[in-house]
Amino acid sequence: MDYGKTAPSVLEGVGGASNVESLGHCATRLRFVLRDASKADRAAVEAAPGVITVVESGGQFQVVIGNDVAKAYAEITRISGLGADKPRAQDGSASGSGSTGPAPRGNPLTRLVDVISSIFTPFLWTLAGAGLLKATIVLVTKLGLVAETSQEFTVLNAAGDGVFFFLPVLLAVTAAKRFGANQWTAMAIAGSLVYPAIGALNEAGVPVSFFGIPMVMVAYASSVIPVILAVYVQSFVERGLDKALPSSIRNFITPMLTILLMVPLTLLTIGPASDWAGQGASGLIGWLFGLSPAVAGAVLGGTWQIMVVFGIHWGLVPMMANDLAVQGHSLLYGPLVAASAAQGAAVLAVMLRTRSKSLKKLAGPAAVSSFLAGITEPAVYGVNLRLKKPFVYACIAGAVGGGIASAGGSASTAYIMPGLLSLSAYLEVGSFALQLAGVGVAVALSFGLTMALGFKDIPEDAAAEADGAARAEGPDEATDADATPERPAGEAFEVATPVEGRVVALTDVPDPVFSSGTLGDGAAVAPTSGEVHSPIDGTVVSVLPHAYGLRSPEGVEVLVHIGIDTVRLGGEHFTTAVRQGDHVRLGDPLGEVDLAAVEAAGYDTTTMVIVLDAAGTGVVRTTEHPEVEHSTVLLSLSPEHALTPVG
């Protein structure tokens, strides 16, 4: 399909780019939010090449494309500038070039964490890499390999410190996307805050005023809170100016007036207020650690990974950054290496104890990631949290080790990912010996508890492994875990259910795209468990938090779609265990969903299993049991369709 022809037809059919409030896509559909739904020509859109049908639901104009929806989305964003991060102003201009993203859901804390994570996530790895570089520079200077007075040190220090000095500029870009403000104007405002002459006014220590108004000067280099608040206010200023100004002058007068207003406003009010708030929060943390560093470290070390699971750890990131900017170190980092290493130790023990091939494959790389880089998501989501007990053991060990590490006032002097590779960032503040002792105790305790107390293994994987060993014909038999055995000629292709639950006829699904068979034939399951497993042997060709596309070696494409309209959750309550390109076997974990939370948010959790483009090929439901376990055969596909090799 030539989506170069599809895109302009669809765009014209929805009323043009100026009629689009926002555009996103899920596993099969382009999802438009239109300014004026009456301007859309549904018949014209459905007539566009590559369009299967149109569904208008929940305030969205949904254009069903099928498995290649990402290609159509990419072409529309290319020709229009639309997309989840590029909404248009009312006149079609790009003056509002940021994105408000999906509307935040949940309580105020949840919304705050969502905002913070969306602002920091795009350059998190850059911060982590620069933080690791800074920690390495500290190490080489301590070892005497580079003198702090040398020109080499100046260059290397600039390389590691530049991103932190100009952190307000980076935050301006991502905050503008989040709040729907103009990114370039936001960068201009942030650039004014770190302008050398402004910094000199702060360092001079003399009274400063602006047209007679006293100005409290603070240090804006490396700051976090002032620029985020400034860009938030900027978004409202721009929207007001866009409405008030005529289009003939709007494109250049709006940025001029916004900068003219926001720079003095930030320096006079937002900056000082946020600086006081930041210093207050930092002082509170220092007070808590002053009362009992060991207890404070134990609490944070034991709960850190729990906060990571729920995403609320992002609430501490601005506090860490503020501590680094104000005092050059952050006590919040003290217990975190122990907490991360404990997860790595638990997953290492799982790798040694489990009989599950899929867990062993996940556990090895996950352990390395947790230990060295402090990246625990693969360990937590892929292994420990799934097995539950190893996660608990690691949290207990993280509390013990974190308390020991913080007992000596250990703190990081750089923004880092808390792994062993970043330990040199702890050399300058507190007891480095206690930091090492805390990490060592956390690793030993987590590994020991997991090995000694054990966990409930995955019975279906263990049984499959035992069954495979029993059927082995000799040393020459292939043992590659990713290899898919040849299917005998004439044998029907079978698709299993990915979830446990109650089987539902596809025609009973309350979504016309699925129930009509437009995408393909299949069945649905009302799930009773949040674990999602692969229904076939094959390759993962697409991954969204709520949907997975898989392709078998014979070329059969299967869509697993969890819930109806759950794309609106933006991934909340979903975790994935696979990536695009991964090879999976029948029953391997694809991800998990918190069914209760999704239902509480008002969404149907019915899970669809669709054989794509299977109209007229003889897909039949093979199970007559209303209640099924995952990996139970659900669908059967006629051999003449299923056994046509691809490529």
DSSP 554: T
Q: Please tell me the least confidently modeled range out of 69-73, 172-176, 298-302, 430-434.
A: 69-73
* 3-state DSSP percent of the chain in helix, strand and coil, to 5: 55, 15, 30
Tens digit of each residue's pLDDT (9 = 90 or more) over 71-90: 888 889 888 877 644 444 43
Distance set, CA 37 to CA 51, 373, 401 (Å): 19, 49, 58
**Helix H or strand E segment including 547:** strand 547-551
DSSP 144: T
Mean pLDDT over each residue of the chain, to the nearest integer:
79
- Is residue 31's pLDDT more than 90? no
Tens digit of each residue's pLDDT (9 = 90 or more) over 498-523: 999 988 888 888 887 787 776 778 88
C-alpha span between 193 and 182 (Å, rounded) = 17
Closest to 634 in 3D by CA, of 625, 643, 642? 625
Q: Is 388 left (phi over 0), alpha (psi -120 to 50) or beta?
A: left
Q: What is the pLDDT of residue 450?
A: 94
Q: Which one of the listed residues 329, 533, 546, 561 is annotated catalytic?
A: 561
pTM: 0.47
Closest to 619 in 3D by CA, of 638, 632, 601? 638
DSSP 207: -
Distance set, CA 564 to CA 207, 255, 419 (Å): 60, 41, 39
- Is residue 251's pLDDT more than 50? yes
Please indicate whether residue 561 is annotated as part of the active site: yes
Q: What is the pLDDT of residue 128?
A: 58
Average pLDDT for residues 202-214, to the nearest whole number? Answer: 87
C-alpha span between 232 and 179 (Å, rounded) = 6
- Is residue 217's pLDDT more than 90? no
Q: Which one of the listed residues 26, 313, 546, 630 is annotated catalytic?
A: 26
Is the model more confident about 285 or about 352? 352
Residue 260, SS3?
A: helix
| Phi, psi at 558, each rounded to 5° | -125, 135
Sequence-distant (≥ 6) Cβ neighbours of residue 609 within 8 angstroms? 495, 497, 498, 522, 523, 524, 525, 535, 558, 559, 560, 634, 635
Our measurement of the distance from residue 602's CA atom to the centroid of its chain's CA atoms, rounded to an integer in Å, reads 22
- Is residue 118's pLDDT more than 70? no
Average pLDDT for residues 2-12, to the nearest whole number? Answer: 86
Question: Can you read off the two tokens belonging to residue 552?
Answer: 């078998």
Distance set, CA 179 to CA 6, 166, 170, 256, 515 (Å): 31, 20, 14, 19, 37
Closest to 96 in 3D by CA, of 191, 266, 234, 189? 234
Q: Is 23 left (phi over 0), alpha (psi -120 to 50) or beta?
A: beta
Average pLDDT for residues 92-117, to the nearest whole number? Answer: 49
Q: How many CB atoms lie within 10 A of CB 352?
A: 11
Ordered DSSP codes for 362-417: HHHHHHHIIIII---HHHIIIIIHHHSHHHHHHHHHHHHHHHHHHHTT--BSS---
Residue 289, burial from CB neighbour count under 10 angstroms (0-12, 13-18, 19+)? buried
Is the model more confident about 540 or about 309? 540
Is the model more confident about 49 or about 466? 49
C-alpha span between 601 and 58 (Å, rounded) = 14
DSSP 122: G
| Phi, psi at 24, each rounded to 5° | -145, -175
Tens digit of each residue's pLDDT (9 = 90 or more) over 303-324: 888 876 554 565 577 778 778 8
Residue 471, SS3?
A: coil
Tens digit of each residue's pLDDT (9 = 90 or more) over 376-388: 766 776 678 778 8
Q: Are 543 and 564 in contact (CB under 8 A)?
A: no
Question: Can you read off the two tokens belonging to residue 231?
Answer: 């860009």
Is the model more confident about 384 or about 268? 268
Average pLDDT for residues 427-438, to the nearest whole number? Answer: 93
Sequence-distant (≥ 6) Cβ neighbours of residue 525 within 8 angstroms? 497, 498, 499, 500, 501, 502, 503, 504, 606, 607, 609, 628, 634
Q: What is the pLDDT of residue 99?
A: 39
Q: Are 42 and 10 in contact (CB under 8 A)?
A: no
Q: What is the pLDDT of residue 619?
A: 64
Average pLDDT for residues 454-475, to the nearest whole number? Answer: 49
- Is residue 6's pLDDT more than 80? yes
- CA end-to-end span of the chain: 18
Q: What is the pLDDT of residue 269?
A: 92
Sequence-distant (≥ 6) Cβ neighbours of residue 532 within 8 angstroms? 498, 499, 548, 560, 562, 589, 590, 591, 592, 593, 607, 630
Q: What is the pLDDT of residue 85?
A: 44
Q: What is the pLDDT of residue 294?
A: 92
Residue 36, SS3?
A: coil
C-alpha span between 580 and 549 (Å, rounded) = 9
- Is residue 176's pLDDT more than 50? yes
Sequence-distant (≥ 6) Cβ neighbours of residue 321 within 8 angstroms? 167, 222, 224, 415
Q: What is the pLDDT of residue 341?
A: 93
Q: What is the pLDDT of residue 572?
A: 83
For the four alpha carbons of 151, 153, 156 and 158, in that order, the dihedral sign comes to: negative
Tens digit of each residue's pLDDT (9 = 90 or more) over 322-340: 788 778 888 889 999 999 9
Closest to 621 in 3D by CA, of 549, 483, 517, 471? 517
Tens digit of each residue's pLDDT (9 = 90 or more) over 148-173: 889 998 999 899 888 878 889 998 99
